[in-house]
């Protein structure tokens, strides 16, 4: 049988990483480093989320193909040419850019990509060693909101002296007011008409998983990992998880305008920009969501323009499908009982496999890394060894499970 290994590079500069190509410097740090207290590790920008992952995947891909992994059974079968599965590798280098070319590749290579399952390798252990297993991913709509001076008011070609705010409009204020109108003051609900109309409730399987999660979930771990002191919702347990996993989340990535340097320079900017993303849960569709956002921000009092940057829909698999049932069995065979989540709150273009190609996606592998999209991203060396071993074991068990 055939298992399709989905491997992707999240390089923010848009440069693909292939086997043998290195675009970051990796430094081995001692275990005294607080961020890698679990043991020696690599620390560099992108260690877990941007660059180290594809390098690791190129590494284990080459070792899988060559039959040189640390798993003796796999090594014997690979060397003898008797692996129980056919492996296909798809490597893309634009995930952080929204995977703009991947849909076209999948469509053109539909026959070549035919498989029984897709496997997305990822470090799946938290700092305490617990294995977390996700059955899907939210979709995303990422857009830019811009306020510029024009016929409505405000400077049109350059920033002007701040004293002019007494009689001229400010594009910076226009942007702030438009953004504030998208979310309730407590930040718990999106204040855009119709945005919740297509939100699907958790399925029966989802509710069962949420109930189990509420018994094992260590909320303090997530607060500690992210250096956050409290959740924005008052609920706990399964109710808090429903907010996190089965409601759309609206995020303001950043705002750029005016002057924030040293001293007291005052200015009325001629332009202000913000990057916004919204995560989509099952049944929500990117086209509808962006249309609602654009309609809301297009109200005459806001004076802003909206540009879509990238978007794709959600994906969902089941704990009982072959890809994920074998992954859970793999973890158990290695001495780990995984904590199974219905979704990951982040996004990845898994829909291309579950919806376009009609095959389930499993996401995982042992090992630990952290601080994605933050300074000092890292991955532990021991985790890399466990990662390789778990992937080889998964391949063998997948072959044993499928006719």
The tens digit of pLDDT for each residue in 107-116 reads 999 999 999 9
What's phi and psi for 211, nearest 5 deg? -65, -40
Confidence check: pLDDT of 171 > 80 = yes
Q: Report, as an integer, the average pLDDT of 238-258.
A: 97
pLDDT digits (tens, 9 = 90+) for 132-150: 999 999 999 999 999 999 9
What's phi and psi for 378, nearest 5 deg? -150, 165
Task: Give the pLDDT band of residue 73 (cuts 50, 70, 90).
Answer: low
Confidence check: pLDDT of 203 > 50 = yes
Tell me the three state secondary structure of residue 368.
Answer: coil
Going along the chain from its start, the domains and CATH numbers come out as 2-135+317-401 (3.40.630.10), 138-199+247-312 (3.30.70.360)
The pair of three-digit structure tokens given for residue 89, joined into one six-digit string: 């590798």
Give the lowest-confidence range in 230-239, 297-306, 307-316: 297-306
Kindly give the pairing relationship between strand 315-316 and strand 136-148: antiparallel
pLDDT at 87: 83
Rounded to an integer, what distance in angstroms lies between the CA atom of residue 53 and that of residue 92? 12
The pair of three-digit structure tokens given for residue 194, joined into one six-digit string: 């119709």
Give the lowest-confidence range in 122-131, 245-254, 261-270: 122-131
Q: Report, as an integer, the average pLDDT of 385-402.
A: 86
Are 272 and 258 spatial neighbours (Cβ–Cβ below 8 Å)?
Answer: yes
pLDDT digits (tens, 9 = 90+) for 306-347: 999 999 999 999 999 999 999 999 999 999 999 999 999 999
Q: Over pLDDT 70: what percentage of the chain? A: 78
């Amino acid at each position: 049988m055939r298992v399709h290994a989905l491997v992707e590079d999240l390089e923010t500069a848009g440069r693909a990483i292939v086997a043998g190509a290195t675009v970051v410097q990796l430094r081995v740090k001692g275990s005294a480093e607080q961020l890698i207290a679990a043991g020696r590790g690599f620390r560099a920008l992108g260690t877990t989320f941007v660059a180290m992952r594809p390098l690791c995947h190129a590494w284990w891909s080459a070792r899988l193909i060559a039959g040189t992994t640390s798993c003796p059974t796999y090594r014997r079968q690979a060397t003898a040419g008797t692996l129980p599965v056919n492996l296909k590798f798809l490597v893309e280098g634009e995930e952080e850019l929204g995977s703009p070319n991947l849909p076209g590749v999948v469509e053109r290579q539909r026959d070549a990509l035919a498989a029984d399952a897709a496997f997305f390798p990822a470090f799946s252990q938290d700092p305490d060693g617990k294995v977390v297993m996700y059955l899907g991913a939210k979709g995303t709509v990422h857009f830019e909101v811009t306020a510029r001076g024009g016929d409505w008011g405000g400077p049109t070609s350059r920033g002007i002296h701040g004293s002019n705010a007494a009689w001229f409009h400010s594009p910076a204020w226009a942007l702030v007011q438009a953004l504030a109108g998208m979310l309730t003051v407590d930040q718990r609900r999106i204040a855009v008409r119709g945005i919740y109309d297509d939100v699907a409730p958790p399925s029966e399987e989802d509710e069962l998983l949420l109930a189990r999660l509420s018994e094992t979930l260590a909320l303090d771990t997530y607060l500690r990992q992210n250096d956050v002191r409290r959740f924005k919702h008052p609920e706990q347990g399964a109710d808090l998880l429903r907010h996190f996993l089965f409601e759309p989340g609206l995020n303001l990535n950043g705002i750029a305008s005016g002057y924030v340097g040293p001293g007291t320079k005052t200015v009325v900017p001629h332009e202000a920009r913000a990057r916004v993303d919204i995560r989509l849960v099952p049944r929500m569709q990117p086209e509808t969501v962006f249309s609602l956002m654009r309609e809301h921000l297009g109200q005459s009092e806001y004076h802003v323009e909206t540009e879509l940057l990238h978007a794709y829909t959600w994906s969902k698999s089941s704990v009982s499908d072959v890809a994920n049932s074998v992954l859970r069995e793999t973890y158990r065979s290695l001495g780990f009982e995984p904590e199974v989540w219905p979704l990951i709150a982040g996004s990845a273009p898994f829909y291309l496999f579950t919806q376009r190609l009609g095959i389930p996606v499993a996401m995982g592998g042992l090992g630990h890394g952290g601080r994605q999209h933050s300074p000092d991203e890292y991955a532990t060396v021991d985790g890399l060894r466990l990662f390789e071993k778990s992937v080889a074991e998964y391949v063998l068990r997948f072959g044993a499970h499928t006719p």
